[in-house]
Each structure stands twice: as structure tokens, then as C-alpha cells.
Structure 1
Amino acid sequence: MKIGIVLMNLGGPTHEDNVRIFLKNLFSDEDIIKLGGGWGQKLFANVISKFRAPNVAKDYKEINGCPKGCTGSKHCFNRKNRVVSDCCSPINGLTELQRRSLEKYFKTILPEHEVQVYTCMRYWLPFAETVMEDMVNDGITHTILMPLYPQFSWTTTGSSFRDWEEVLNKKFEGGKKPWKEFHVKNYYLNESYLNSVNSRIDEAMAEMDEDTKRKTHFIFSAHGTPLLEVRSGDPYTVEIKETMEAVMARRTEKNPYWLSFQSRVGPQKWTQPNTEELVERHLEYGIKNFLMVPIAFVTDHIETLYELGVELVEDMEEEGFEFENYTVMKGLNDHPDYIRALAEEALNCLRHEIPASAIQWDKKETKTDVTA
């Protein structure tokens, strides 16, 4: 048995030259922008990517993830060409870090089995076809598709699964893939995952004095979704709320907390309240201490580092508001508890393939409560 775990993520541009292509791929996705596909969708994607690319490139330059050289996958053009980019999304290097961390973890807990971990990006390299070629060459017999989205949405996990299936059916005649395949739908109530979120909250709170801790409001910020998706039964918004409540239920110190949504794109109506508008409302009431908890994002990228870390603060200050303390929680990235959560979910898929006695879990006890 050769196990392949495919970490599915959004992806991000690696150079200024491919920002427009990345955006075009994003806006061409019918699971995100529902314009019926066809020429109308292509026209919209071409036009909006052309006009947005210059400004988006500036944002990526401000949070460049590879200032000293490529930290992304072996398929990254920067790595192949030994280019030091000044416009690379941090999601590329951090997803590669998650890949390496998970692969290393499996060597510890499953020493008698060969486990290889791959990254598959939805809108930039490496794409599904490249990953499948790697897996065929590596002789993978059992595959787990592992979305780096703890909560399920048709616009994220669903889109990645659909794209994978379409590529697979084109690549293998009759869709007869050379491996047994499993899918992880969601894992937002996995205890190790919840522990990792609370651990990151604790890290942020530890940098504050006691008075600041007491006054701090938690703003759980998730990527918004079109209301059309919510009304059609997409479970994402409900799962986000359940994640927030599960995180807070495991804390002994109960800071005030709120849920908001960010990153609206396209002409449709999206979930509310908007993150920036919610923070502004708090500032108007005299609340000036915030911990931003990016609850739907497990990897730091433009939504966390720029939208929350830079843009929101600048916009509020331009409106004349002042913060006493504003902190953005660090992404889960390679947090040990998060890596463990991914391993737990993968092995749950293989529970009928691998005996429990073959798994050498570390001695860490699963936490049931945390402190602030």
C-alpha cells in the first residue's frame, strides 16, 4: 500500500506576471461566480481580471511570501528558474510547509507504511493534472483528498472536488483511476483542529497586558459566500457559526465575540455582517481593542495578512478612528495540533485499510478546555 494525501487549497500567484491569470482562473469558476459559464463567464473573468490585476499585484507585493527565494512546491516556476519574486502569495510557501509537516508526521505515527503528501491548487500551480501525474509516477494505491477548508462549501471544497473529478475523467479512460480514492468533506469539529485555533488565540492574548485582555473583543472573520449559495443549502455559513461556538465553548475566559464575513467579490449579495463594517460599528460605540480570528482560513494569505492586517486598519484610520490594540491571530499554518487534525481525518478514511495497532499516536492527550 502506498498512500497519497492531496492537500487542496486555493493557490495564489507566484509572480506579478501571473496575477491576472490567477484572477481569471478564479473568476471563471462557476462555483464562485454563477454567470452560467460560456462566453458570458469568460468575458466577465477577462474584464475583471484585467482591471483588478494591477492593484492586486500591489497588495501581494506588500505581503510577499518569498523575499529570500522560493519556498513553494517543486512545480513553482520561481523554484525551477531560481527566481526571487517580489510578488508571491504566502499561501504557496505555507501550503508547502503544511505538506512537509504532515508527511514528516506520518513517518512518526505510521512508520510501517509509505505516505506521500501532495499539494493541489485550484487556481494556480500545481494543478490537478500535474498532481495526478506525480501520483501515477509514485505508484500511489490509496488516495485521500484533504481540503484545507475545515468547513464545507460548494465554492471551495466542492469546487476542488469537481475540478479533480473532471480532470480525472479526462486523464483516465472511463474515469478508471489507478488508486482507491477517499474524500474528507469537512472537519470543523475535530478536537485537534479546535485546539489549534484556541492555541493561536492564546498566543495572541499572551502578548497583551491584563487590562487589554479584559477589553478585547474577538471578531471571528470568515470568507463570505453569495446569499444565493446559502439559500440553495450550502452548509458553510452554519458550519462557520458552529466552529466559532465550539472554539468559545472550550475557553474558560469568555471574551465578547462576534462573527463577520469578508472578501466579497462580484455583483451578487453576500453574507453579512461585513467584517470592516462590524469593526467600524464597534469603534463608533467606543470599543477599541480587537483580536481578529480568521476562522475559515488555515493558511496565512492575502485575506489574513493584507485584508485584515493592513487594509482594514488603514481604512479605519482614514475614517478618523483610532485603535488601542488591534491584533490579527496568526494562521494555523503548520501548528502541530492542526497537522495532527489532518492526520486524524486521513486515517479515519483508511480505518478499514489500516489496523489501529499500526498507528503510533504521540502521547499528547486531547484537550477539552483551554485558558485565555
Structure 2
Amino acid sequence: MFSIKQVMRLKPFMALRFASSQSSPKTGIVMLNMGGPQSSENVHDYLLGIMTDKDMIQFPFFQNKLGPWIAKRRTPEVKQKYDEIGGGSPIFKWTEKQGQLLCKQLDEQCPESAPHKNYTAFRYVTPFTDEAFNEVLKDGVKRIVVFSQYPQYSCATSGSSFNAIYRHFRKIGFPKDIKLSVIDRWSTNPLLAKTFADLIRKELKQLPEDKQKEAIILFSAHSIPLKTVNRGDSYPSEVGATVQMVMQELNYCNPYQLVWQSKVGPLPWLGPFTDDALKGYVKQGKKTFLLVPIAFVNEHIETLHEMDIEYCKDLAGEIGVKHIRRVPTPNDHPLFIDALTGIVKDHLKNGGGVSHKFLNRCPHCTNVNCYNSKKWYADICNRT
């Protein structure tokens, strides 16, 4: 049973969900993301899903045995981190709220495709991909827009979610009377850049006035293995494109650098790493920093623990950083909700479908599942 306080906290989200579900939805907006455990008890299963997903992580051998072993070994450490940020990830709360606000605006601006309803489809925790699409089909929607919540595309994140959708419908078949279309990336959306620029300006003003101009803006994104980069994954270039658009919006007001975080395992990953960059700049005499989670659209473990606790608190104290702040993720920022709305609105008005970029595989791709998945999307999304 929920406590009175829990019910009161849920009421705004329940009201929005009820409003979007009063009549049968015509258009379903399925919002893809990795997800995060809502309680520390779910951490092991979450890690197990990641470590055994060959689209996310490729071990050189024995993944079916090595993956579960690593998940079990890392569970206590990761569980403690979730306990330190309140016991679970808020990513479901934010994804739901973003989707509900998005659909509310779509109902107003796109009456021809209304009513719209949002569905959250997580990769490694409930609501899983199959759960989300089972609900979509149960609701009897006429059109499905699969909307990746990773602005910058990577085969390991967005690609894994899209492949999971393909595997689900490979088993049950895709209904002939439903139109499916895909929004796979939106790294250069102008309102996304304006959202981050606004958040950065506000955070810069929280620094001492004489330190604001000298603050180094570190745009931090989740790293990926170098072998993934060398295979042709477009993620690094798309993250870089977002950074450039944000800095252009800020009129290049401060020095800045793109850095990478969340490395896992012994293999070489894309750098420079965020913690190493902080150490390197301190050696150069720099002492004022602003961290920007440029590839994350809502708060979760990488922002609330890795950036806030491990970098801004523990590491900053260790290396003598005097001033450091972390920019919030977009969450429910009005400009960001407008960005989401505009992306889907334009997609609907332009007929949807699927982009040529999405259907084009990396030049050194050897993933048969990826080949079959993209072929399936080409067939389903382009049919009349």
C-alpha cells in the first residue's frame, strides 16, 4: 500500500496519465530509454540485463557466463550507490512526466492525430519493451511513433532498444492496420541546444561573479569502447555536434571541453575521462568548473552519483577544486518539452517513416541481429 505522502507525490502524474487515457488513443508515443532500478532490490537484475546484452557490451568470450558473474560481483557496490541517492533511479518518474507533458501539447497542436498517449519502454527494467508494446496494442492505437530518448544515437543504447522491438514483433508479428515510424536521433535540435544553454547560464550565475568567465565548461557524456568507435558508431560525432550548438547558443562565452565518463572494464574506451580531465586542468592551475550532462535528458545514477558525489564532492575535495557546479538535466524544463513536442509534431506532419541514416549500418558492423532489425524497420515503416 502507498503512504499518504507517496500518493500525494504521485497525484500530478496520475492526473496527467488519467487525462491522456480518458478516450482511446489514436497515436502512441513510445519513449525508449535504458531505464534504471526504482529500488536497490532491482539492481542485480538491471546489471544482469546490461551485462548479457550483446548489443550493449561484447565480451571477447563466454558472455553468457562472464556477464552474470560480473553482474553479481558489482551488485553490492552499485546497490550502495543507489542507496546514497535515495534508494532508486528517478528516470521512470521523469520519462513519464516528459511523455505526459509532450502528449498534452501534441493534443493541442496536432488534433488530427489526437488523442496521443505516451508509453515508456525501458531496456533493462520494467516497463520493458514487450510490456510497453503489449499495452500499446491493447489500447488499439492506429499509429505508433517510436521516440528514442537518447538525443545522440549509439548502437549500444538506441540500437539495443530498437533491436529489442524488432525481436518482440518477430515473435508475434506486427499488425497490418497500424503505422509504425521512428525518431532515432535529434542531437542538433535547436531547442535542445537552447535548453542546455539556459541551464548553463543559470548555473554560471551561481558561481562567484569574478569566477564566472574563467569557469571551464566540461560537457560530460557516457563513454563507449574504442572498438565501437572504430566500427563506425556515430555517437561521438553526434555528441560533439550538440556541444557545438550549445556553445554557439552561448556565444562561446567560456572555455569548454568534451569529456567522457562511466567507463566499465579493462578495454580501451573513448577519452579524455571526466575525472582525469579535472585532474589535468587543476595541474594547469584551473580551479573553477561547470559540469554539463550533455547526453542525458533526465536525472539518474550517472548524474546524481557519478557527477554529483564522485566528481563534484569527493574528487573536487581531493584535488583542491575551489568552485565546481553541475548543470541539471533537462527534466521538465519548458524549452525541453517544447523541443520534444516540436520533434514529434514535425515527424507526424512530414509523414513519419524511418531515416536513411538509421537504416545504414556502421561500415564494420558484423551484428546479424542489427542487419535483420534494420531490414525489418525498412519493410514495416515504409509500407503504405
Q: Given the two structures, how large is their TM-score scaled by the length of structure 1?
A: 0.84
Query: What whole-Å deviation, never above 9, does each CA across 1:79-104 have from its counterpart, x for those lacking one?
Result: xxxxxxxx211212111221222122
Map of 1:231 onto structure 2:
230
Q: Does 1:161 align with 2:162?
A: yes
Check conservation: 1:168, 1:177, Cα contact below 8 A: no
Distance between the aligned counterparts of 1:60 and 1:35, measured in 2?
26
Deviation at 1:314, TM superposition (A): 4.4
Map of 2:343 onto structure 1:
345
Higher mean displacement: 13-22 or 116-125:
13-22
Q: Does 1:6 align with 2:7?
A: no
- Listed as ranges, the gaps of 5+ residues in structure 2 are 1-24, 353-384
Check conservation: 1:136, 1:178, Cα contact below 8 A: no
Deviation at 1:36, TM superposition (A): 6.5
Corresponding residue to 1:336 among 334, 337, 348: 334
Query: What whole-Å deviation, never above 9, does each CA across 1:163-185 have from its counterpart, x for those lacking one?
Result: 1111121122xx44652111112
Map of 1:216 onto structure 2:
215
Map of 1:21 onto structure 2:
45
Change (3 A) 1:179 1:36: farther
Distance between the aligned counterparts of 1:275 and 1:116, measured in 2?
38
Alignment of 1:155-304 (within 5 A): 155-172=156-173, 175-176=174-175, 178-252=177-251, 254-304=253-303
Distance between the aligned counterparts of 2:271 and 2:252, measured in 1?
27
Change (3 A) 1:176 1:267: farther
Deviation at 1:35, TM superposition (A): 2.5
- Listed as ranges, the gaps of 5+ residues in structure 1 are 65-86, 355-372
Q: Which has the higher helix share?
A: 2
Query: What whole-Å deviation, never above 9, does each CA across 1:22-51 have from its counterpart, x for those lacking one?
Result: 0000111112211368xx212122111111
Deviation at 1:110, TM superposition (A): 2.5
Corresponding residue to 1:45 among 67, 75, 80: 67
Query: What whole-Å deviation, never above 9, does each CA across 1:96-131 have from its counterpart, x for those lacking one?
Result: 221222122223322452111111101101011111
Map of 1:326 onto structure 2:
324
Change (3 A) 1:265 1:4: same
Higher mean displacement: 245-254 or 289-298:
245-254
Q: Which amino acid aligns with 2:68?
A: N
Q: Given the two structures, how large is their TM-score scaled by the length of structure 2?
A: 0.81
Deviation at 1:253, TM superposition (A): 5.2
Q: Does 1:309 align with 2:308?
A: yes
Secondary structure of residue in 2 paired with 1:261: strand
Distance between the aligned counterparts of 1:252 and 1:260, measured in 2?
20
Distance between the aligned counterparts of 2:201 and 2:158, measured in 1?
29
Deviation at 1:260, TM superposition (A): 0.6
Distance between the aligned counterparts of 1:104 and 1:208, measured in 2?
36
Deviation at 1:139, TM superposition (A): 1.0
Distance between the aligned counterparts of 1:250 and 1:349, measured in 2?
24
Query: What whole-Å deviation, never above 9, does each CA across 1:199-225 have from its counterpart, x for those lacking one?
Result: 111221222232121121100001001
Distance between the aligned counterparts of 1:330 and 1:233, measured in 2?
30
| Aligned-pair identity (%) | 34
Secondary structure of residue in 2 paired with 1:218: strand
Check conservation: 1:33, 1:266, Cα contact below 8 A: no
Query: What whole-Å deviation, never above 9, does each CA across 1:139-192 have from its counterpart, x for those lacking one?
Result: 1111111111111110111111001111121122xx446521111121111111
Distance between the aligned counterparts of 1:189 and 1:232, measured in 2?
23
Give aligned pairs, total: 327
RMSD: 1.8
Change (3 A) 1:249 1:129: same
Deviation at 1:332, TM superposition (A): 0.6
Secondary structure of residue in 1 paired with 2:296: coil
Distance between the aligned counterparts of 1:147 and 1:63, measured in 2?
26
Q: Does 1:93 align with 2:99?
A: no
Deviation at 1:349, TM superposition (A): 2.3
